[in-house]
Amino acid sequence: MKQAILVEGLRKTFGRREVLHGIDFSVEPGSVFGVIGPNGAGKTTTMRCLLDIIRPNGGHIQVLGEDPRHAGPELRRRIGYLPGELFLEQRITGRRLLDHYAAISGPVKPGRIDELAERLDLDLDRHTRKLSKGNKQKLGLVQAFMHSPELLVLDEPTSGLDPLVQQEFLAMVREARDNGQTVFLSSHVLSEVQQAADEVAILRDGKIVTVATVDALRETALRHLRLAATGITADDAGALLGRVPGVGALEVLKAGDGVEVSAVLEGDIQPLVQALSTLQLTHLVLEEPDLEESVLKLYGMTGNGKRNGNGQRALEVTKGAGNE
Amino acid sequence: MNRKLPLFRRAFLDPWRSTLGWAAGLAAAIALYLPLFPSIGGSSQMQGMINALPPEMTKALNYDQITTGTGYTQATVFGLIGFLLMTIATVSWGAAAVAGDEESGQLELTLAHGVTRIQVALERALAMALRVVLLAVLVHVLILSLNESAHLKINPQNLFGATVMFAGLALLSGTGALFAGALTGRKAYGLAAGTAIGVLGYVFNAVGRQSSDLNWLLNLSPYHWAYGNSPVTNGADWAAAGWLWGISAGLVLLSAVALQRRDVGA
């Protein structure tokens, strides 16, 4: 089968400002593809082009084998879409709103709406405008998933969801993939997509910086290292660790008759372990690879080893979300 | 797709509170104005008062024939309070139908489903038209029911013609608002365009009637097309009705084309 999504040289200009400068990527059917990037990178614009909500100024798009600009409603019935900003201000219940969307999209299996609502812990009988942000987001997710579309296009799907519901959402994404559905989702933080996505595109200022598998990203990712050792001077410790390939942002402090060290490691662990074996360690922490930080590096937003910037906060999110 | 016209049904049925509210407003206005005719419009004192007013003012307010039941109904219900209420209603509906929905971010989600933009514009315009017709029917029925007791002496056939004009005039403002909104995606522009049609139509009529030098303004006034020949008294000018409804239909089609051709929510 052909790609579920094929985008070549996609350009979009609003007024004089070009927001997409020729984007290329493709999404294999039955896979989960995440696109991440800072706010304003062009994620939402790209998604809207896939749905023919806005029209590109250049390039070529194929969605499920068809050109969204000319394929019409039949193509959009095969897609489930969650917009990045969801406004549901009507004075009708969630159930009636979903019935309406069911009437204008693909057929929905009986009982499917209730099943999804139950999974996400959503009350369908409340008026939509009285729902909290998280509950509106759940309604949007039900709306996107309910007709089991071939392709799901989800713009910041986890925004506003609490961690438990985020886990349920990730399970729904995995199930969709196991059913052979394709999922295209976006986020501004990697931690939200790294668990779900097979492949990740990093978008910055309307250009794709890189497309990689999550595993490949992990290999290039940074690990934070902290250790304490006795019987060595700060200079010797600095010299020893400084020779290890991939070690950076080295900080060595004298502590008692030993040292405290913090650093980051990029790449293989083995050379580091060999170097460490010569030390009398009293404390050692080598953290999970910090994908967030390596992505931020790709964004060009932060330097290595800054422990109290965005990277650190994002790191904690990563770890929290990883505790399944 | 087991049911027909889902967008229309949603646009027509969901705002039932609003439809009901406007219906209550119109009913209250009619119930307030018309029963007063025997004691106000029909009395000789009223004629004296009208004669004492500057003739320009009488013409501007369409009070020239206010001492007859038909002229009174024309000037108060169709020409002023009913016109005002209906125009406000249709302008707000027309501006909300596409532009308001777009600004609130909800149109994007609708368009991501299995609908065409032309379908969205047409079904929502149809919902607006049907709400206008519903209110016009109510106005017609209420006036008819007061015809006897308020000594209005309105010919029911003329009343029907006047109601058709009344609905067509309001619909023109509404479809103008719809078109400006669909073209620009801005609710404010829709409101401005619809209001301009209503207000300028009224002003051009009021000014155009002042002197033969300004008569040409009347040709630009939808208000004058509708009410120039006092339809409650003399029956509708059906050609003018055709213009009002026809231009509205044209504006609806243009709205659909405009929406079809542009980015949404950008």
> Which of the pair, A39 or B263, is modelled with greater confidence?
B263
Gap from A119 CA to chain B (nearest CA, Å):
23
For residue B104, list chain A residues with Cβ-Cβ distance below 8 A: 87, 89
Segment A162-176, tens digit of pLDDT:
989 999 999 999 999
Which single residue is written with the structure tokens 């039955």? A30
Query: For residue B9, is pLDDT > 70?
Result: yes
Interface residues of chain A, partner chain B, Cβ below 8 Å: 14, 48, 51-55, 72-74, 76-77, 79, 81, 83, 85-92, 100-101, 103-107, 140, 143
Segment B36-48, tens digit of pLDDT:
998 876 677 878 8
Gap from A80 CA to chain B (nearest CA, Å):
8
- Cα separations in angstroms, B188 against B85, B249, B259, B265: 19, 22, 16, 15
Chain B residue closest to A13 (CA)? B266
For residue B117, list chain A residues with Cβ-Cβ distance below 8 A: none
The Cα B233–Cα B216 span in angstroms is 24
pLDDT for the residue numbered A173: 95
Give how far the C-alpha of residue B42 lies from the chain's centroid of Cα atoms, to the nearest Å: 27
pLDDT tier at A68, thresholds 50, 70, 90: very high
Task: Single out the residue of A80, A73, A71 nearest to residue A98, CA to CA.
Answer: A80
Gap from A191 CA to chain B (nearest CA, Å):
26
Contact (CB, 8 A) for A6 and A64: no
Segment B127-182, tens digit of pLDDT:
999 999 999 999 999 999 999 999 999 999 999 999 999 999 999 999 999 999 99
Q: Is A63 left (phi over 0), alpha (psi -120 to 50) or beta?
A: beta
pLDDT for the residue numbered A302: 41
- Is A73–B113 a contact, with Cβ atoms under 8 angstroms apart? yes
Contact (CB, 8 A) for A280 and A229: yes
Give me the mean pLDDT over the A111-130 stretch.
Answer: 93
For residue A143, list chain B residues with Cβ-Cβ distance below 8 A: 109
User: DSSP 3-state assignment of A184?
Assistant: strand
Work out whether the CA dihedral B201, B203, B208, B209 comes out positive or negative.
positive
For residue B17, list chain A residues with Cβ-Cβ distance below 8 A: 91
- Is A87–B105 a contact, with Cβ atoms under 8 angstroms apart? yes
- Is A77–B109 a contact, with Cβ atoms under 8 angstroms apart? no
Contact (CB, 8 A) for A43 and B65: no
Which of A75, A104, A127, A143 is best to mutate for the B interface (most B CBs within 10 A)? A104
pLDDT for the residue numbered B59: 84
CB pairs < 8 Å spanning A and B: 74
- For residues A153, A159, A161 and A164, what is the CA-based torsion angle, rounded to 10 degrees? 80
- Is A100–B2 a contact, with Cβ atoms under 8 angstroms apart? no
pLDDT for the residue numbered A314: 36
For residue B263, list chain A residues with Cβ-Cβ distance below 8 A: 48, 53-55
Contact (CB, 8 A) for B73 and B232: yes
pLDDT tier at A289, thresholds 50, 70, 90: confident
C-alpha distance across the termini of chain A, in Å? 34
Please list, in sequence order, all residues whose beta carbon lies within 8 angstroms of the beta carbon of residue B15, skipping any fewer than 6 positions away. B93, B131
pLDDT for the residue numbered A300: 65
Q: Is B30 left (phi over 0), alpha (psi -120 to 50) or beta?
A: alpha
- Is B266–A14 a contact, with Cβ atoms under 8 angstroms apart? yes
- Of the candidates A55, A92, A105, the beta carbon closest to that of B113 is on A105
Please list, in sequence order, all residues whose beta carbon lies within 8 angstroms of the beta carbon of residue B222, skipping any fewer than 6 positions away. B169, B172, B197, B201, B244
pTM confidence score: 0.84
For residue A86, list chain B residues with Cβ-Cβ distance below 8 A: 105, 109
Task: Single out the residue of A111, A175, A117 nearest to residue A141, CA to CA.
Answer: A117
